[in-house]
Amino acid sequence: MPTSRSPRPGTRGWRAPASVLCGALLALTATPAVAAPQPPPAPAPAPDAPRSEPVFAADPVRETVWVDTGLDGDADGATYRVAVDIARPRTDGPVPVIMDASPYYSCCGRGNENELKTYDDEGRPVGFPLFYDNYFVPRGYATVLVDLAGTNRSQGCVDVGGPSDVGSAKAVVDWLNGRAKGYDAATGGAEVGAGWSTGAVGMIGKSYDGTIANGVAATGVAGLRTIVPIGAISSWYDYYRSDGVSFGADPRGLAETVEEGGRPECAPVKQRLDEGAPANGDVTDLWAERDHAADAANVRASVFAVHGRNDLNVKMIQFGQWWDALAANDVPRKVWLSQTGHVDPFDFRRAEWVDTLHRWFDHELLGMDNGIDAEPAASVERAPDEWSDEASWSGESAAPTTLHPVPGDTDGLGGLTSEPAPADARAAFTDDPAQDEYDWAREPDQASPARALFTTAPLEQDLRLAGTGSISVTATPATPTAHLSAVLVDYGPATTRDALGEGEGIRTLDSESCWGESREDDDACYRDTEATTADVDYQVLSRGWADLANHGSLSEESPLTPGTPYEMTFRLATTDHVIPAGHRLGLVVGGTDSAFIQAPAEPGRVEVGLAGTSVSLPVVGGAAAVRDAGLDRAPTGTAAVRPDRLPAEPRVLLNRDGA
Residue 580: DSSP 8-state? -
Average pLDDT over residues 269-290: 97
Quick check: 411 and 447 in contact, CB under 8 A? yes
Assign 652 a pLDDT band (cuts: 50, 70, 90). Answer: very low
Provide the residue type at 283 as one letter.
V
* Secondary structure class of 344 (helix, strand, coil): coil
54-103 per-position pLDDT tens digit: 999 878 999 999 999 999 866 778 899 999 999 999 998 999 999 999 99
pLDDT score of 527: 98
Residue 621: DSSP 8-state? T
Instruction: Examine the pLDDT at 117 and tell me if it is beyond 80.
Output: yes
In the set 52, 207, 246, 394, the catalytic residue is 207
Instruction: Examine the pLDDT at 643 and tell me if it is beyond 90.
Output: no
> At the fourth CATH level, which superfamily is domain 399-499+536-645?
Galactose-binding domain-like (2.60.120.260)
In the set 238, 246, 282, 342, the catalytic residue is 342
Q: Does the annotation count 207 as an active-site position?
A: yes
Average pLDDT over residues 264-277: 95
Q: CA-to-CA distance for 407 and 510, rounded, in angstroms?
A: 54
Q: Does the annotation count 311 as an active-site position?
A: yes
Q: Does the annotation count 404 as an active-site position?
A: no
Assign 344 a pLDDT band (cuts: 50, 70, 90). Answer: very high
Q: CA-to-CA distance for 130 and 140, rounded, in angstroms?
A: 17
Total residue length of the chain: 659
Q: CA-to-CA distance for 467 and 574, rounded, in angstroms?
A: 5
β-strand pairing of 333-338 with 378-383: parallel
Residue 386: partners with Cβ closer than 8 Å, 6 or more residues away: none
Other beta carbons less than 10 A from residue 567's beta carbon: 14
* Secondary structure class of 356 (helix, strand, coil): helix
* Secondary structure class of 140 (helix, strand, coil): coil
Q: CA-to-CA distance for 387 and 393, rounded, in angstroms?
A: 13
> Which of 43-47, 261-265, 626-630 is the most confident on average?
626-630
In the set 174, 238, 311, 528, the catalytic residue is 311
Pick the residue with more confidence: 459 or 645?
Answer: 459
Quick check: 606 and 484 in contact, CB under 8 A? yes
Instruction: Examine the pLDDT at 442 and tell me if it is beyond 80.
Output: yes
34-62 per-position pLDDT tens digit: 333 344 444 555 667 899 999 998 789 99
489: enclosing H helix or E strand: strand 483-497
Quick check: 321 and 305 in contact, CB under 8 A? no
Q: What is the domain partition of the chain in residue ranges?
A: 61-392, 399-499+536-645
The residues with which 230 forms a beta bridge, in sequence order, are 206, 306
Sign of CA dihedral 474, 478, 481, 484: negative
The residues with which 522 forms a beta bridge, in sequence order, are 519
Q: Which of 221, 239, 324 is nearest to 286 (CA)?
A: 239
174-198 per-position pLDDT tens digit: 999 999 999 999 999 999 999 999 9
The residues with which 127 forms a beta bridge, in sequence order, are 118
Average pLDDT over residues 336-345: 98
pLDDT score of 217: 98
| Half-sphere exposure at residue 551, Cβ-oriented, CA atoms within 13 angstroms | 21
Instruction: Examine the pLDDT at 4 and tell me if it is beyond 90.
Output: no
Residue 118: partners with Cβ closer than 8 Å, 6 or more residues away: 125, 126, 127, 521, 522
Other beta carbons less than 10 A from residue 125's beta carbon: 21
Q: Which of 431, 482, 471 is nearest to 618 (CA)?
A: 471
Q: Which of 293, 316, 241, 235 is nearest to 554 (CA)?
A: 241
Residue 372: DSSP 8-state? G
Q: Which of 258, 264, 313, 261 is nearest to 105 (CA)?
A: 258
Q: CA-to-CA distance for 506 and 79, rounded, in angstroms?
A: 44
Over 23-83, what HEC string results?
A: CCCCCCCCCCCECCCCCCCCCCCCCCCCCCCCCCCCCCEEEEEEEECCCCCCCCCCCCEEE
Q: Class of 61-392 per CATH? A: alpha beta
Q: CA-to-CA distance for 522 and 87, rounded, in angstroms?
A: 12
Diameter of the chain measured on Cα atoms? 80
Q: Using a pLDDT cut of 90, give the percent of the chain over it.
A: 85
Burial class from Cβ neighbours inside 10 Å (0-12, 13-18, 19+) for residue 262 reads exposed
